[in-house]
């Protein structure tokens, strides 16, 4: 997995990148009560707001980590937003993206660098 400074994780699955938030981010948010997901087929640029997460503490945005196309979303989060707190690194992924170039992921942190960031 790769990690962003915005506390998102990126996992490569074939030619797609799965995006979610880290345990650190989920804990900081508190109990998640609502998740707004993008529409599949949406073209995004790095830094675009893609998802909105609302918790009992605050609202937060998930930003596109890279340029690409949203090809799938985790519709289960709309019905069960608490999954973000229960399994942020697994079942609670937000969306899958198709990137023009997977090599763009090389610039992101690995787990050791991310742990240093939040340490």
Q: Is 44 helix (H, G, I), strand (E, B) or coil?
A: strand
Closest residue by Cα to residue 82 from 62, 64, 61, 56: 56
Q: Where are the domains of the chain?
A: 2-102
Q: Return the CATH number of the domain spanning residue range 2-102.
A: 2.40.50.100
Q: What pLDDT band is residue 100 in, cutting at 50, 70 and 90?
A: confident
Q: What is the reported pLDDT for 113?
A: 95
CA dist 29 and 32 (Å) reads 7
CA dist 64 and 97 (Å) reads 9
Beta bridge partners of 35: 53
Q: What pLDDT band is residue 80 in, cutting at 50, 70 and 90?
A: very high
- For residues 17 and 10, the answer to whether their CB atoms sit within 8 Å is yes
Q: What is the reported pLDDT for 102?
A: 81
Average pLDDT, the chain: 94
Is residue 98 over pLDDT 90? yes
For the record, the structure tokens of 118 come out as: 């939040």
Cα Rg of the chain (Å, integer): 13
Q: What is the reported pLDDT for 58?
A: 87
What confidence tens digit (pLDDT) does each residue in 22-60 have?
Answer: 999 999 999 999 999 999 999 999 999 999 999 998 899
pTM for the model stands at 0.93
Beta bridge partners of 65: none
């Amino acid at each position: 997995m790769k990690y962003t400074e915005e506390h998102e994780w990126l996992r490569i699955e074939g030619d797609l990148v799965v995006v979610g938030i880290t345990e650190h981010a989920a804990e900081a948010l508190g109990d998640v009560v609502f998740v707004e997901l993008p529409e599949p087929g949406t073209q995004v640029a790095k830094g675009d707001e893609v998802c909105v997460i609302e918790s009992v503490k605050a609202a937060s945005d998930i930003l596109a980590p890279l340029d690409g196309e949203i090809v799938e979303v985790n519709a289960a989060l709309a019905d069960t937003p608490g999954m973000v707190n229960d399994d942020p690194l697994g079942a609670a992924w937000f969306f899958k993206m198709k990137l023009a170039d997977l090599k763009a992921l090389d610039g992101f942190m690995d787990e050791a660098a991310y742990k240093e960031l939040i340490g």
